[in-house]
Chains A and B, each alone.
Chain A
Amino acid sequence: MENCDVTIVGGGSAGLAALKHLSSLGKQAILLEAGKEIGSKNVSGGILYSKKSNNGKIYNVEDIYGESFLTEYPYERKITKYILNATSKDKVFSIDLTESHNYQTNFGYSVLLNKLNSWFAQEAQNAAERLGGGIITGVHVRALKWEEKRSKIIVQTDELEEFETKVVIAADGVNSEIAEMANAREKFSPSELYQGVKVLVKLPEKIIEERFEINNSEEGAAHLFAGDVSLNLIGGGFLYTNRDSLSIGGVYHYDSLLENPIEPAEIVNSMLKNPLISELIKDEVPIKEIDKTLSKEQQVRKSFAITKLLNNWNELRQLYYSHKLKEKSIADRKYSSEDEIKSKLDNLTKRLTDEYNIKFKTNYIELEYTTKLVPDGKRGRMKKPYHKNILFIGDAAGRGLFFGPRIEGLNVGMDDAARASIAVARSLDKNNFDSDYLGEFYTRLVEESPYTVDMKEIDKQYLNVILNSTRKRIPSNVLGLKHKLLFNLVSNDGLRNFFITMINKYGYTRLLSFIESEDVYFKVPIKIADKLGTLNTASYIPQIPTIQDRVAKLCYHEDNISHIKILDSSKNFLRKMVVLCPTKCYSLEGDEVILQHEGCIECGTCSKETEWRHPRGEKGVIFKYG
Chain B
Amino acid sequence: MIMITMNKIENNHSTNNDSYRHLFVIIESINNELIPASLEMLGEARRQMDHFNLKYKSNEKVIAIHLGHGIKDLSKDLISYGADAVIYADDPHLKYPINKIYTKIISQIVTDPHSLKEISPEYVSIFKKPRYMFFLADSIGRHLSSTVLAELDSGLASDINKLVISDLDIKHQHKTKGETIHYQKVLEMYRPDFSGFLWTTILCLDNKNPEIAKEFHPQACSIIPGAFQPCVQDTKRTGIISQFSPQFDEQDLKIKVVKQELVKNPVQFENYKIIVSFGRGIKEDPEANIKLVEKLAKILDAEIGISLPISKKIFHLNEKYDSIYITPNRVVGTSGRKVTPVIYIAVGISGAIQHLDGMKDSDFIIAINPDENSPIKDVCDVFIKGRMEDVIPVIIDELSKRSGQLKEKEIQVNTYGKL
List, in ascending order, chain B residues with CB within 8 A of A560's CB.
Answer: 320, 413
Q: Which of B287, B288, B370 has the most CB of A within 10 A?
A: B370
B218: A residues at CB distance < 8 A: none
14 A-B pairs in the complex with CB atoms less than 8 angstroms apart: A290-B284, A292-B387, A296-B280, A296-B350, A296-B370, A296-B371, A296-B374, A299-B283, A303-B283, A303-B284, A552-B287, A552-B288, A558-B319, A558-B320
A276 interface residue per 8 A CB criterion = no
- Give Cα A292 to B390, complex, Å: 13
Asked whether A556 lies within 8 Å of B320 as measured between CB atoms, the reply is: yes
Which residues in chain B, 33-80, are within 8 Å of chain A measured between CB atoms?
none
**B173: chain A residues within 8 A (beta carbon):** none
How far in angstroms is the closest Cβ of chain A from B373? 8
Q: Does B358 contact A (CB under 8 A)?
A: no
Contact of A588 with B by CB under 8 A: no
**Chain A proximity mask over B343-375: 1 for CB below 8 Å, otherwise 0:** 000001010000000000000000001110110
Residues of B close to A303: CB separation below 8 A? 283-284
Indicate with 1 or 0, residue by residue over A289-322, a CB within 8 angstroms of chain B CB atoms.
0101001110110010000000000000000000
| B266-287 interface (Cβ within 8 A of A) | 280-281, 283-284, 287
Residue of B nearest to A299 (CB): B283
Bound CA–CA A552/B291 (angstroms): 11
Q: In whole angstroms, how far apart are the Cα atoms of A360 and B54 in the complex? A: 70
Chain A residues closer than 8 Å to B283, beta-carbon distance: 299-300, 303
Contact indicator A296/B281 (Cβ below 8 Å): yes
Q: Is A555 in the interface zone, CB < 8 Å from B? A: yes
Complexed CA–CA distance, A300 and B309 (Å): 12
State the CA gap A115–B334 with chains docked (Å): 47
Which chain B residues border A292 with CB–CB below 8 Å? 370, 387
Distance to closest chain A CB from B369 (angstroms)? 8
| Known A-B contacts A552-B287, A552-B288; A558 and B318 likewise in contact (beta carbons under 8 Å) | yes
Interchain Cβ contacts within 8 Å, total number: 34
Say yes or no: is A557 at the interface (Cβ < 8 Å to chain B). yes
Q: Which of A290, A295, A556 is close to B318, meaning CB atoms less than 8 Å apart?
A: A556
List A contacts of B350 (CB < 8 A). 296-297
Query: In the complex, what residue of chain B is closest to A294 when comparing beta carbons?
Result: B371
Question: Bound complex: CA of A295 vs CA of B373, how far in Å?
Answer: 9
Nearest A residue to B285, CB-CB: A552
Contact B318 A555 (CB under 8 A): yes
The CA-CA distance from A221 to B295 in the complex, in Å, is 46
Smallest CB-CB separation from A556: which chain B residue? B318
Chain A: which residue is nearest B374 at the CB level?
A296
With both beta carbons as reference points, the residue of chain B lying nearest to A548 in the complex is identified as B288
Mask, A474-506, CB within 8 Å of B = 1, is 000000000000000000000000000000000
A296 and B374 CA atoms in complex are apart in Å by 9
Q: Output the least CB separation between A294 and chain B (Å).
A: 10
Within 8 A of A (CB), among B285-334: 287-288, 318-320
Within the complex, the shortest CB–CB distance from A301 to chain B, in Å, comes to 10
Residues on A with beta carbons closer than 8 Å to the beta carbon of B348: 296
Chain A positions within 8 Å of B318 at CB level: 555-558
Beyond A292-B387, A297-B350, A552-B287, 6 additional contacts (C-beta under 8 Å) are: A295-B371, A296-B371, A556-B318, A556-B320, A558-B318, A558-B320
Task: Using CB atoms and an 8 Å cutoff, list the residues of chain B in contact with chain A.
Answer: 280-281, 283-284, 287-288, 318-320, 348, 350, 369-371, 373-374, 387, 413
A290 to B389, CA, bound (A): 15
User: Please, how many angstroms separate the alpha-carbon atoms of A157 and B374 in the complex?
Assistant: 52
Closest 5 CB pairs of A and B: A558-B320, A557-B319, A300-B283, A296-B371, A556-B318
Residues of A within 8 A of B320 (CB): 556-558, 560
In the complex, what residues of B have CB within 8 A of residue A300's CB? 280, 283
Q: Least Cβ distance of B308 to chain A in Å?
A: 15
Which residues of A from 215 to 231 have beta carbons under 8 Å from B? Answer: none
A560 to B294, CA, bound (A): 14
For A297, what are the chain B residues with a Cβ–Cβ distance below 8 Å? 280, 350
Output the least CB separation between A472 and chain B (Å): 52
Q: Please report the C-alpha to C-alpha distance between residue A560 and residue B415 in the assembled complex, in whole angstroms.
A: 13
Q: Which single residue of chain A is at the shortest CB-CB distance from B349? A: A296
User: A299 to B369, alpha carbons, bound, how many Å?
Assistant: 13
- Closest Cβ of chain A to B400, distance in Å, is 13
- Neighbouring B residues of A558 by C-beta, 8 Å: 318-320
CA A599 – CA B123 in complex, angstroms? 71
A601 to chain B, nearest CB (A): 14
CA distance A300 to B280 in the complex (A): 8
Contacts of B287 in A (CB 8 A): 552
Once the chains are docked, how many angstroms separate the CA of A558 from the CA of B325? 14
A552 to B285, CA, bound (A): 11
Q: What are the interface flags for A556-583 relative to B under an 8 Å C-beta threshold, 1 for contact and 0 otherwise?
A: 1110100000000000000000000000
Distance of A505 from chain B, by nearest CB (Å): 56
For B280, the closest partner residue in chain A by CB is: A300
Complex CA gap A303/B316 in Å reads 14
Which of chain B's residues has its CB closest to A36's CB?
A: B319
Q: How far is the CA of A560 from the CA of B413 in the complex (A)?
A: 9
**Complex alpha-carbon distance, A558 and B322, angstroms:** 11
How many Å from the CB of B279 to the closest CB on chain A?
9
Q: How far is the CA of A296 from the CA of B287 in the complex (A)?
A: 18
Q: Please, which residues of chain A bring their CB within 8 A of the CB of B280? A: 296-297, 300
Task: Report chain A residues within 8 Å CB of B373.
Answer: 295
B29 to chain A, nearest CB (A): 37
How far, in angstroms, from A297 to B280 measured CA to CA in the complex? 9
Beta-carbon nearest neighbor of B350 in chain A: A296
Minimum CB–CB distance from B278 to chain A (whole Å) comes to 13
Q: Which residues of B contact A556 (CB under 8 A)?
A: 318-320
Bound-complex Cα distance A292 to B281 (A): 12
With both chains docked as a complex, state the minimum distance between the C-beta of B387 and any C-beta of chain A, in angstroms: 8
- In the complex, the chain B residue whose C-beta lies closest to that of A290 is B284
Residues of A within 8 Å of B387, CB to CB, are 292
Contact residues in A for B281 (Cβ distance below 8 Å): 296
A139, B369: Cα distance in complex, Å: 45
Q: How far does the alpha carbon of A303 sit from the alpha carbon of B282 in the complex, in Å?
A: 12
A297 to B371, CA, bound (A): 10
| Nearest CB of B to A356, in Å | 16
Residues of B within 8 A of A295 (CB): 371, 373
A62 to B217 alpha-carbon distance, docked (Å): 74
- Closest residue of chain A to B348 (Cβ to Cβ) is A296
Inside 8 A of A555's CB, which chain B residues have their CB? 318
CB-nearest residue of chain B to A303: B283
Residues of A within 8 A of B288 (CB): 552
State A292–B283 Cα separation when bound (angstroms).
Answer: 12
CA distance A136 to B320 in the complex (A): 23
* CB proximity of B280 to chain A, nearest CB, Å: 6
The CA-CA distance from A557 to B348 in the complex, in Å, is 26
B233 CB, nearest partner CB in chain A, Å: 43
CA distance A556 to B370 in the complex (A): 31
Q: Measured between alpha carbons, how far is A297 from B349 in the docked complex, in Å?
A: 11
B352 to chain A, nearest CB (A): 11
User: CA separation between A317 and B159, bound complex, in Å?
Assistant: 47
Residue of B nearest to A598 (CB): B320
Most buried by A among B319, B350, B371: B319
Closest A residue, CB atoms, query B411: A560
Nearest-Cβ distance from residue A559 to partner chain B, whole angstroms: 8
Q: How far is the CA of A558 from the CA of B291 in the complex (A)?
A: 14
Q: Which residues of A contact B374 (CB under 8 A)?
A: 296
From A296, A552, A556, name the one whose CB has the most chain B CB atoms within 10 angstroms.
Answer: A296
- Closest chain B residue, CB of each to CB of A559: B320
Query: How many angstroms between the C-alpha atoms of A299 and B350 in the bound complex?
Result: 13
CB distance from B212 to the nearest CB of A (A): 41
Shortest Cβ gap from B245 to chain A (Å)? 50
- Closest-by-CB residue of A relative to B279 is A296
Q: Tell me the bound Cα distance from A297 to B281 in angstroms.
A: 9
Within 8 Å CB of B284, what residues of A? 290, 303
Rounded to whole Å, the gap between the CB of B226 and the closest CB of chain A is 26
Instruction: Name, among B283, B369, B413, the residue most crowded by chain A CB atoms within 10 Å (CB to CB).
Output: B283
> How long is the Cα–Cα vector from A270 to B160 in the complex, in angstroms?
62
Residues of B within 8 A of A290 (CB): 284
Residues of A within 8 A of B369 (CB): 296
Query: Which chain B residue has the least Cβ–Cβ distance from A295?
Result: B371
